[in-house]
Amino acid sequence: MQEIGDTVELLRRPFRNGDPAMPIRHSARTTLQESTAAAEAEWLDDVLIVISELVQNVSQHTTGEGELIISVATGIVLVEVGDTSITVPHTRHPEAHRAGGRGLLLIEAMSRRWGVRTCPAGKVVWVELAAVVDPHHLSAA
């Protein structure tokens, strides 16, 4: 675990384009359960849905690699997924006859807030979710 101010980084996991989201979700679930004692926490499922959406977006809309970072602060889980694309995602109204196009709307509805941070190597999509967690009382995972 890496502590930066009041924020503690729990997981940093690189992934390749096309990697399935399930093993990445599993790593996140295990880390959060072991570190925050969140085995039955209602917010844990929301975090895992956000991770799936963001990781799948990297595979569907970019050609490069990605990285998942999960951090916690008091009352917050921060999920960040970086990739090498400079294209900034945005919400759009889904078309009734298309299966996709709803991921960011779902993230918007579930999160406290979300956004995109551009950087020289691409971008990072970040999502803050409300969670019952205190970074000062984390277990060593």
- 133 and 72 Cβ atoms separated by less than 8 Å: yes
Instruction: Tell whether the model's pLDDT for residue 115 goes beyond 70.
Output: yes
Identify the bridge partners of residue 23 per DSSP, sorted by sequence position.
none
pLDDT band for position 37 (cuts 50, 70, 90): confident
Q: Encoding tokens for residue 140? A: 């060593």
Give the containing element (helix H, strand E) for 52.
helix 42-61
Q: Encoding tokens for residue 25? A: 């979700």
| pTM for this model (two decimals) | 0.87
Neighbours of 72 (CB within 10 A): 23
Q: What is the pLDDT of residues 91-108, one digit of tens each?
A: 666 666 665 667 788 899
Say how many domains are in the chain.
1
pLDDT-wise least confident of 7-11, 34-38, 39-43, 49-53: 39-43
CATH number of the domain residue 99 falls in: 3.30.565.10
DSSP string, 19-51: --HHHHHHHHHHHHHHHH--TT-HHHHHHHHHH
- Residue carrying structure tokens 């997981």: 11
Which residue range(s) make up the domain with 89? 2-137
Instruction: Tell whether the model's pLDDT for residue 2 goes beyond 60.
Output: no
